[in-house]
Amino acid sequence: MKKYVKIALLMVLAFGLLSGSAFAAASLNGGNATVASELITAGSAFDLPGTAANTAYQPNGAVAVSTQIKISLTGGSFTGLAATGGSSGLNICDGTTSMGTTTAITAADTSAVVTLVKPLASGTVYTIQKNDCAASPQALGALIRITSGSSSVTMTVDNNAGTDANLYATTTIATVADQLSAVISTAAKDTLDFSTSLKKFKTGGTDTTTTSKATFVLLSNETLGSKLTSGHVGNNTGCGAWPNADQLTLTVLPGGSATTMGAGFHATAPFLMSGFIVDSAIASTDASGTGTVTLNTAPNIVNSCGAGTLAANITAAAKTALYLQVLGTTALQARTFNLKVDTVKAVNIKAEARTIMASTLAWTWTLDATQYYVPLIKFGSGTETYIKLQSNSALVGSNGVSIQVLATDGTMVTVTPATNITSGTPYTLTGTDIAALVTAAGKSVSGANGFAAIITINTPNANIFGYANMIDPLGAKRVPLQRLTDVAANTAWTTIAE
């Protein structure tokens, strides 16, 4: 007997699972359209993309006539609806049959109330749509306005009198995402040339002796349903032409600074730029010296690349080139510059200006300097370390000395001797000399245990000569100097003296 009872119970359970609707929650399907933030500005109407005619809604149970159903929006509002009977009403429809009526809705209202004139049945799928149910249905997008700054629009259906399990359902009907972005493709790395008294760059850099070139690519999220026509192929590949008549603002910033270049960008030392030039095809120059250019991007910006990964396409050829052009009349400084890219509200871009690439390192200028790594420097109690340096450079701006010392607290401290190297004259640094500079800087080193240091001379490698030894009660011994063969290229250390 127990066996047959168990079978009966299992059959009842299986029937319940198959029928399903008695246990299901109310459901709402709005399609979740995706919209580019660049298309949205305060007060602009937002149309759902595509040909979807309605929002599908299924109550959890029977709903009686005269029930007031509240349809509300979060992150958006209605544009304004006339009462049902006109062509712009909001309806709950069973096919071509209207199940209720709405009163007129004022623009910017975030909810509408439908009073049922026919009951809703459990498990039946209805539609929420614009227009009379008997007429050609229209997408709800024409009735919905995204609130400026919202990341999504959510629709909720419920009883106007309070939460009702038979009616309550919510869903995202639109998601807002940024379509446009930009990244540095190739950062400029140029070395100031001592042979021109630091007025130009050495050949072999990223561009010519008077221009420092960085490149960037523009990216477009092509997965969005409503977006700018960008000419790009695929999602964020960076391929194709940029939208016609749209603009970008490019701003050069001193590295690490939040302010623009100012007048010094154009005509004041130590910058002495003749212009900030964006690609020869675009020829947009910062003649005013503000460090900013706004350019009409199309049809000149074309990010050409083939199939492959985003990383591969970013490094592909034919990116937009940005030049810092020097006049070559006054010495420049070793330094960095950043680039910031912003959109402009124009023809296709409806949104207010947005930063699509935050201030990012784009140009690095380095000295053609020589660095020596000294692994052990001792002094005191009959012990002294002697470092001998000589230079044959008579170039303006050369032969300056800077020392980075490893202090006893484990930090590096930078100190500068009072005098520079004189061309042709031996220059001596002792362990005692360096220790005194470190003490003056508020740090300490141990003469008995020794310390390490990196010595930088603002002179090309070919023009500097170095030698070091240590004298103690047991005699004299060589101290190995290791030289970085190319400071700008950051190549490996090379031992040149032992």
> Are 338 and 411 found together in one domain?
no
When pLDDT is averaged across residues 54-76 and rounded to a whole number, the result is 92
Question: In terms of domains, do 171 and 212 share one?
Answer: no
Q: What is the pLDDT of residues 218-229, one digit of tens each?
A: 778 888 888 887
Q: Taking the mean position of all CA atoms in its chain, how far away is CA 252?
A: 16
Contacts of 130 (CB under 8 A, 6+ apart): 88, 89, 90, 91, 137, 138, 139, 140, 142, 143
pLDDT of residue 269: 41
Q: Are 342 and 211 found together in one domain? A: yes
Written in H, E and C, the secondary structure of 288-315 is CCCCEEEEECCCCCEECCCCCCHHHHHC
| Side-chain half-sphere exposure of 147, counting CA atoms within 13 A | 13
Q: DSSP label at 52?
A: -
pLDDT at 51 over 50: no
Cβ(185)–Cβ(359) below 8 Å: no
Q: Kindly provide the residue ranges of all beta strands, DSSP E only, lying in 245-369, ordered along the sequence.
A: 247-254, 273-278, 284-285, 292-296, 302-303, 320-326, 335-344, 355-367
Structure tokens at 309: 């990964």
Per-position DSSP letters for 369-413, written without gaps between them: -EEEEEEEE-EETTEEEEEEEEE----TT---EEEEEE-TTS-EE
User: Which pLDDT belongs to residue 250?
Assistant: 85
320 plus 398 within the same structural domain: no
Q: Please count the other Cβ atoms lying within 10 Å of the Cβ belonging to residue 495.
A: 10
Judge if 228 and 108 occupy the same domain.
Answer: no
- Given a contact cutoff of 8 angstroms between Cβ atoms, the answer to whether 483 and 370 are in contact is yes
Task: Determine contact, residues 365/334, Cβ cutoff 8 Å.
Answer: yes
In a domain, 4, yes or no: no
pLDDT tens, residue by residue, 457-494: 988 888 999 999 999 999 999 999 987 654 443 333 33
Residue 299: is the preceding peptide bond cis (ω within 30°)? yes
In the prediction, which pLDDT does 336 show?
80
Residue 489 neighbours by CB distance under 10 Å:
12
Q: Are 343 and 280 in contact (CB under 8 A)?
A: no
Domain co-membership, 140 together with 205: no
Yes or no: say if 270 and 276 are a contact pair by the CB < 8 Å rule. Answer: no
Same-domain pairing of 29 and 159: yes
Residues 208 and 134 in one domain: no
pLDDT at 303: 58
Residue 62 lies in a domain: yes
Do residues 167 and 238 share a domain? no
Q: What mean pLDDT is reported for the chain? A: 77
Specify if 5 maps to a domain.
no
pLDDT higher at 387 or 112: 387
- The whole-angstrom distance between residue 375's C-alpha and the CA centroid of its chain comes to 41
Q: Do 207 and 342 belong to one domain? A: yes
Q: What is the pLDDT at residue 115?
A: 92
Q: What is the DSSP-derived secondary structure letter of residue 434?
A: H
Q: Which among 310, 337, 366 is the end of a domain? A: 366
Beta bridge partners of 78: 144
Question: Does 153 lie in the same domain as 123?
Answer: yes
Give the domain-ending residue among 126, 157, 177. Answer: 177
Q: Does a structural domain hold residue 305?
A: yes
Looking at the chain, the whole-number percentage of residues with pLDDT higher than 70 is 71
Q: Quick check: is 184 in a domain?
A: yes
Residue 71: predicted pLDDT = 93
Residue 333, in any domain of the structure: yes
- Report d(CA 414, CA 429) in Å as an integer: 15
Does 18 fall in a domain?
Answer: no
Q: Per the structure, how many domains does the chain have?
A: 3
Q: Is the dihedral of CA 84, 90, 95, 98 positive or negative?
A: negative
Looking at residue 14, its pLDDT comes to 34
The two three-digit tokens of residue 346, written as one number: 């124009």
> Is 203 in the same domain as 162?
no
Predicted model pTM? 0.72
Give the model confidence (pLDDT) of 354-372 as tens digits. 999 999 999 888 877 888 9
Q: What is the pLDDT of residue 261?
A: 43
Q: Mapping DSSP to helix (H, G, I), strand (E, B) and coil, where does residue 27 land? A: strand
Give exposure, 97-131, as e/b (b: 16+ Cβ within 10 Å).
ebbbbbeebeeeeeebbbbbeeebeeeeebbbbbb
- pLDDT, one tens digit per residue, over 296-332 is 655 455 555 555 555 655 555 446 788 888 877 767 7
> What pLDDT is recorded for position 236?
62
Q: Which residue range(s) make up the domain with 241?
A: 180-366
Average pLDDT over residues 364-389: 92
- One DSSP character per residue, 125-194 reads -EEEEES-TTS--B-GGGGEEEPTT-SEEEEEEEETTB--TTT-EEEEEEEEE--EEEEEEE-EEEEE-G
In a domain, 315, yes or no: yes
Q: Show which of 307, 335, 366 is a domain's final residue.
A: 366
What is the structure's pLDDT at 239?
Answer: 62
